[in-house]
Chain A
Amino acid sequence: MANTPENGAIPLLEVRGLTKIFGELRACDAVDLVVAKGEIHSLLGENGAGKSTLVKMLFGSLEPNAGTIKWNGEAVSIRSPGEARALGIGMVFQHFSLFEALTAAENIALSLDSDTPIATIAEKAKSLSESYGLPLDPYSLVGDLSVGERQRIEIIRCLLQEPDLIILDEPTSVLTPQEADKLFETLERLRAEGKSILYISHRLEEVKRMCDIATVLRHGKVVNHCDPGKETAASLANMMVGEEVTNAARTPPAEGGRGDILIEVKNLNRPPATPFSIPLRDISLDVRGGEVIGIAGVAGNGQGEFFEAVSGEVLQDEPGSVRFRGQDAGKLSITQRRLQGVGFVPEERLGHGAVPEMRLSDNLLLSRHSTDSTAFLGTLGVIRGDAIATSAKRISTDMDVRKSGEDPEAAALSGGNLQKYIIGRELDREPAVMIVNQPTWGVDAGAAARIRQSLIDLARSGSAVLVISQDLDELFEVCDAIAVMHNGELSEPLAIGDATFEKIGLLMGGAEPGHVEHDRGAS
């Protein structure tokens, strides 16, 4: 295996015993990693396994507590991203660090240490982008570009520094399937040129397809080095999670026809709140009792704005543009919409769905102070702590929330467990309508399966469930039909029997429904 350098070749990067401790948490615990020249090396692991911490140490943004890093056989200490770049390490981050009001070339110039004129940089960027098949106009404003195009800027910015090792952190999480294919071609070309790539992902199929070797991390420790081509997706998942992962079982919708329309969105428009946010354009959608409808789409295409509008955090001008259970809701506040029997779960857990410094029981009141006022509040609005504690306990048991104490602060829970609690908080009400934004974002596989199953079960008991998600696998697992949001517009829902990754992917890229052509794939 490549972990022991064969025939005397010095590996490009050799990491031994690298450890990073945050407080009492060993985010990376004696991690060994060897990257040879000209290989695509995958770093696999669940959220919180320590992947990002490891690469941040390699890129000099975090200082390790122990361990050695050898670069071309020589021990080095990387104290800053600047030093990492000087060695020949480049990185493309998961969350882009681009200024939207500047052009692509200006953004690239900002990250270079030299004072080369912008025109020269633009020229170089253009020729480089063409030679790698990543078309890019260096003078376009970043604010006008799609997410895929922004990622190209990051990649080209990285390539301009002629690195020997390129670190990519979850690059496909923001891409359509077609854009991802294009990225893989580029990476394979870079490998052919002898560059090494450290590829972080939790998407097993793409790792299997492209990577030469995988290092699997779990709870900060390396659990395995393997050849992903020889493993199955299931065996890789088991290494990552450490236990058998079962998919949610999607039972067929109840027999006897479809239920009543419980969510009715009709010609919903919303002007952009800021110059760079997405306006909602004429969105219409019906969800019936008993079914789960999914909204797919690349991040930042209006999903957040849509959730704010249907939840009532932002009110509509037209009372009829959002209706729940046959009643107008467009001008009702989020509290009044909850009183109509609707449950909401936002994307952000800490600071939106829950107050980080408050205990779980206090957080229960956040979404239920009005709907359950008779149970939880006495006269003069006095909070009935015992009733709330009982409910909080019931939710934790029902959803299998694993926590350190009886009633810890929300911030003390792992993302998955807090999400189970937040979803359980709404399910506990048995809502007739449930609207969830990114139900399993950053959640470990076990908790994700639990959450997805509970959404399906809720629908099958007669409720209408609307799931907004960037994770196509998830949508295909739970939904009866999938609509796609692109640039503030929503497509017609495709019944799950007709939907394929390719069709949904094309819609995510902005192709017109019924106008499916392949040339639009990567643009």
Chain B
Amino acid sequence: MRIELTKRPQHSVLFSVLSPFIALALTMIAGGLLFAALGKNPFDALYFYFIDPLRETWSLHELAIKAAPLILIAVGLAVCFTSNNWNIGAEGQFIMGAVVGSIPPVLFPDIQIFLVLPIMMALGMAGGAAYGAIPALLKVRFNTNEILSSLMLVYVAQLFLDWLVRGPWRNPEGFNFPETRQFHDYAVLPEIISSSGRAHWGFVFALVAALVVWFMMSKTLKGYEVRVLGQSPRAGRFAGFSSSKMVFFAFLVSGGLAGLAGISEVSGAIGQLRPVISPGYGFTAIIVAFLGRLNPLGIVAAGLILALSYLGGEAAQISLGLSDKAARVFQGMLLFFVLATDTLIHYRIKLVMRSRASGGA
């Protein structure tokens, strides 16, 4: 007996829409079983994960803070993945965006004018895009696998940041703590509604980016080019589209958005550079991109859900003493179920029995 996946002649539109929700429900069930196995009441755990963080205004602001980088990065990754370029290194582009964007407040702390903030944002995007261009260049020139090169560059970026904040960029008045100086007021991304919580303009950037990319992908020739080259490179060449240019386009867009997410996070939420500035946003954004079905509007919803799992993980850690690793497992299960339900929409499982009655004779 063996198991075969056979392609369905037609895939159900209804289930294509439902599949993220089914995946979410399956994750809850599997997560509940996991908590039960850890000796916790699964209903309590799920309550702290998914309901508790939504009960107060300040924690909704926290949700927006966590969702902003996830959405920004995932929107860029959606362009990348749709064009069949596998950028796994958004975490590194996020960090390099933060580093390059921090040049004005760290190296020129005395220049305190309004222009500093827009320059920081532009530098952040440029830094992320430039770092994303490395795997793109390697892929186009040397046919290197971009999954490996972009992933490995994440660790380079992490160690580079670590070295910077412990070495040349360390705050001279910081008692040798591994941090840069605090950003001055002109270098801090302001809060949206400062009276009710900390959420900064990064969330607005995320929504704008989602809208712009959605428009580009679904309404314009550029989006068409992305989809054609992603689905059928040969047909793309026949159409006169260049796949090398597309590799650069995809990596520059996703790197740029990841870089913007990085500088927004540092400038809006943290206020300085530290050895670690991201709880893995760049990797979690991969889940967000797929949970949102690579559709920028779906990604906004998916980003909020994954942000909730970060907050819920913290809440469960405090209230139930659950390890923070549980939140990672949760995210992993979610990606697994999303991909599994997507597969089952397009394929059916068939058990093939080897021995048949008509044999022998």
Contacts and interface: CB of A to CB of B under 8 A. Distances in A.
Contacts of B354: 79
A355 B240 contact: no
A100 interface: no
Interface in B267-292: none
A366 B359 contact: no
Categorize the interface residue count of chain B: 20 to 34
A344 B224 contact: no
Contact of B231 (A77, A335, A357, A370): A357
Contacts of B168: none
A370 B240 contact: yes
| 3 closest cross-chain pairs (CB), A and B | A335-B240, A23-B9, A381-B221
B237 A383 contact: no
Contacts of A68: 358
A157 B331 CA distance: 55
A338 interface: yes
Q: Describe B's contact surface by its main secondary structure.
A: mixed
B74 interface: no
Interface string B232-250: 1011011110000000000
Given A358-B227, A369-B221, A381-B220, A353 B356 contact: no
A304 to B, nearest CB: 12
B228 interface: yes
A189 interface: no
Interface string A363-389: 001110110000001001111000000
Given A76-B361, A351-B234, A355-B228, A333 B221 contact: no
Given A74-B361, A366-B228, A380-B220, A334 B8 contact: no
Given A335-B240, A369-B224, A382-B220, A355 B235 contact: yes
Contact of B361 (A75, A311, A369): A75
A486 B286 CA distance: 51
A313 B358 CA distance: 53
B240 A338 contact: yes
B238 A377 contact: no
Interface in A324-371: 333-335, 338, 344, 346, 348, 351-358, 362, 365-367, 369-370
Q: Most chain-B Cβ atoms within 10 A of its Cβ — which of A338, A377, A380?
A: A380
A367 B236 CA distance: 9
B55 interface: no
A326 to B, nearest CB: 22
Nearest to B240: A335
B11 to A, nearest CB: 10
B235 A353 contact: yes
Given A76-B361, A358-B227, A383-B224, A367 B238 contact: yes
Interface string B4-26: 00111100000000000000000
A313 B237 contact: yes
